[in-house]
Amino acid sequence: LKNGKDPFKLTSIDELGSHIHLIPAEVRGFFMTHRTRVQWVLLFIFLALPWISIQGQPLLLLNIPQREFIFFGMLFKAHDAPLIFLLLASFALGLAFVTAIWGRVWCGWACPQTVFIEAVYRRIEILTEGSYLQRRRLQTGPLSFGDVGRKLLKWILFVTVSSVFAHSFIAYFVGSKKLLVMMQNPPGENWTYFVMVLFFTGLLLFNFAWFREQFCVIMCPYGRIQSVLLDASSLAVTYDAERGEPRKGSPLAGKSQGDCVSCQRCVEVCPTGIDIRNGLQMECIACTACIDACDEIMTKLKKPTGLISYKTLNGEPLRIVKFKTLAHGALILLLVGVLFYNLRTREPLNIAILRAIETPYVVSKDEKGASQILNHFRIHMTNQTRLDSYYSIRLLPTETEQGFQLTMAQNPVLLKANNTETSHLFIRVPQEKFPSSGQIQLKIEISDSENKIFERELTLIGPST
Ligand code: SF4
Ligand code: SF4
């Protein structure tokens, strides 16, 4: 036990494993002001992103049924999976890089779990049920008629904002225009998405209104690997024990009492319910609330602020250049370099030609009775640009001179920006041109509206002798 408490026991779970609903005290201060601004900007970005388009293409669209992703107007399909991997790996390493220097700044400032709870759900609670003291009374004391009304209003607002966020979330997967159309039609016409919106509304409600800090404390994988990501020179929210101890009321506090007056304000404001004076803990999401709370107390006591502060774990100046950050930085540069190289050299047209699966070839007669071998292919073309384009498909002149013919139901093919079309392609070859091996290699040319030419090789098969 430390100061009468078990520092290893989770503050938000009781002896039987049930959730203790924490009600942290409100706090004002330098960090709170700046965090609130960042949270509003992030919320705005989350709500606005699905509505932004570049040249008619959404800025961000994750079309999972079609296995398509549009990122800053660029289309990525299933064949671009390596690029998506590079993007995600860069992001994960970027997070590790930031953590090695600035600690859990992601958790306290930008994680959706913190942003939604602090900027929206906690504010609704304060708006409807009052200060933390009033809410704590509501949690334990008997409820009056007015209290029930306040709770009801709180839950109505919770459901409303959860529904708005769920719709906004779904817009990332279906696009804002389609979402608007679906919202204007009866649910029966879009059952799948209607059920998904209901599911996400329920999930957000459960997570942000009830589960809250439990996610950070017992579920978040990022929180669990902090001991690997942080080192002694990383920034963290720390208590200056040298200055604060022996704290007021401690049996050790005599004439040489430290600056901590044991007001418990730092514990009262903590959203995960921990006491930072026990040292760095896995539950600390670096929200900085305890810094503002303690600074407020120190200011009232006319003592220097910073008894709890953002500083490195070893107390030395912040070091950005160290082995860990150099290693992360080099890997990030490598991944981002490969990603940009691939994006720059990516062809504006993706072409996949597959042999039709029925008969490998067909022998037919032309109008003069000469035998011909017919090969059937499927050509999938994806216009990876932001402009619509026509694509003409033809054989090389040397092939047509030998009597080879290419036939398609429609040629040229019109492809809208970021769209895929599949067409049937037939190639007819006089049988006497077929070598004894029964195989012919040939090339086809595909030119777009700007006369950019793409070449692809095909293997024709026929009877071998
Ligand atoms: S807020 Fe500051 S003074 Fe009060 S208990 Fe926490 S560390 Fe001590
Ligand atoms: S200890 Fe301080 S920084 Fe950490 S979660 Fe609690 S209030 Fe936030």
Whether 171 has a pLDDT exceeding 80, the answer reads yes
Q: Which atom of ligand 1 is nearest to the CA of 259?
A: 3
259 alpha carbon – ligand 1 mean position (Å):
8
Phi and psi for 221 in degrees, rounded to 5? -65, -30
3-state secondary structure of 364: strand
Instruction: Round the average pLDDT of the chain to a whole number and report it.
Output: 91
Q: Atom 7 of ligand 2 has which residue's CA nearest to it?
A: 270
Q: For residue 216, which of 107, 357, 354 has the smallest C-alpha distance?
A: 107
Q: Mind listing the pLDDT tens digit for each residue in 199-228?
A: 999 999 999 999 999 999 888 999 888 888
141 alpha carbon – ligand 1 mean position (Å):
28
CA distances from 358 to 226, 263, 354, 383, 428 (A): 56, 81, 12, 28, 16
Whether 254 has a pLDDT exceeding 80, the answer reads no
Q: Atom 3 of ligand 1 has which residue's CA nearest to it?
A: 260
pLDDT of 3 reads: 54
Confidence of residue 4 (pLDDT cuts 50, 70, 90): low
**Ligand in nearest proximity to the CA of 297:** 1
Task: Name the least confident of 111-115, 166-170, 461-465.
Answer: 461-465
State the Cα–Cα distance between residues 335 and 357, nearest whole angstrom. 38
State the Cα–Cα distance between residues 314 and 319, nearest whole angstrom. 11
Which residues are 456's β-sheet partners? 444
Whether 6 has a pLDDT exceeding 70, the answer reads no
State the Cα–Cα distance between residues 68 and 71, nearest whole angstrom. 10
State the Cα–Cα distance between residues 6 and 13, nearest whole angstrom. 13
Phi and psi for 165 in degrees, rounded to 5? -65, -35
221 alpha carbon – ligand 2 mean position (Å):
18
Rounded CA Rg of the chain: 32
% of the chain with per-residue pLDDT over 90: 66
State the Cα–Cα distance between residues 111 and 216, nearest whole angstrom. 10
Pocket of ligand 1 (CB under 6 A): 244, 260-266, 277, 293-294, 297, 307-308
Average pLDDT over residues 131-144: 90
Q: Which atom of ligand 1 is nearest to the CA of 265?
A: 1
108 alpha carbon – ligand 2 mean position (Å):
9
Q: Atom 2 of ligand 1 has which residue's CA nearest to it?
A: 294
3-state secondary structure of 51: helix
286 alpha carbon – ligand 2 mean position (Å):
5
Q: Which atom of ligand 2 is nearest to the CA of 24?
A: 7
Of 10, 23, 270, the one to substitute when testing ligand 2's pocket (max ligand atoms within 8 A of C-beta) is: 270
CA distances from 370 to 61, 361, 363, 460 (A): 53, 16, 10, 18
pLDDT of 341 reads: 94
Q: Which atom of ligand 2 is nearest to the CA of 270?
A: 7
Question: H/E element holding 383?
Answer: strand 371-383
Indicate if the alpha-carbon torsion angle 206, 207, 212, 216 is positive or negative. Answer: positive
94 alpha carbon – ligand 2 mean position (Å):
23
**Ligand in nearest proximity to the CA of 282:** 2
β 371-383/349-355 pair status: antiparallel
Q: Which atom of ligand 2 is nearest to the CA of 308?
A: 2
E-state strands within 251-315: 308-312
293 alpha carbon – ligand 1 mean position (Å):
8
Q: Mind listing the pLDDT tens digit for each residue in 258-295?
A: 999 999 999 999 999 999 999 888 899 999 999 999 99
% of the chain with per-residue pLDDT over 70: 98
Residue written as tokens 């009321």? 249
CA distances from 380 to 369, 394, 457 (A): 33, 15, 14
- Identify whether the C-beta of residue 160 lies closer than 8 Å to the C-beta of residue 152: no
pLDDT of 368 reads: 84
Confidence of residue 2 (pLDDT cuts 50, 70, 90): low
- Identify whether the C-beta of residue 421 lies closer than 8 Å to the C-beta of residue 399: no
Residue written as tokens 């008619």? 56
Residue written as tokens 């006089």? 430
β 420-430/405-408 pair status: antiparallel
Q: Mind listing the pLDDT tens digit for each residue in 52-99?
A: 988 777 889 988 888 888 888 788 888 888 898 999 999 999 999 999
The token pair that represents 180 in the structure block: 């608007």
32 half-sphere exposure, CB direction, 13 A CA radius: 16
Confidence of residue 142 (pLDDT cuts 50, 70, 90): confident
What is the secondary structure of 416-462 as a DSSP string? -TT-EEEEEEEEEEEGGGS-TTSEEEEEEEEE-TT--EEEEEEEEE-
Confidence of residue 335 (pLDDT cuts 50, 70, 90): very high
State the Cα–Cα distance between residues 197 and 168, nearest whole angstrom. 9
Confidence of residue 48 (pLDDT cuts 50, 70, 90): very high
Q: Mind listing the pLDDT tens digit for each residue in 347-398?
A: 889 999 999 877 788 998 888 888 999 999 999 999 988 789 999 999 999 9
Query: In terms of C-beta density within 10 A (0-12 exposed, 13-18 middle, 19 or more buried), how is residue 445 classed?
Result: middle
Average pLDDT over residues 119-129: 96
280 alpha carbon – ligand 2 mean position (Å):
9
pLDDT of 463 reads: 86
**Amino acid found at 133:** L
What is the secondary structure of 192-245 as a DSSP string? HHHHHHHHHHHHHIIIIIIITHHIIIII-HHHHTHHHH--TTSEEEEE-HHHHP
254 alpha carbon – ligand 1 mean position (Å):
18
Name residues whose C-beta falls within 8 Å of residue 79's C-beta, 6 or more positions apart in sequence: 350, 352
**Ligand in nearest proximity to the CA of 107:** 2
Q: Which residue blocks in 175-190 are alpha helix, DSSP H? A: 176-184
State the Cα–Cα distance between residues 29 and 132, nearest whole angstrom. 17
State the Cα–Cα distance between residues 98 and 302, nearest whole angstrom. 35
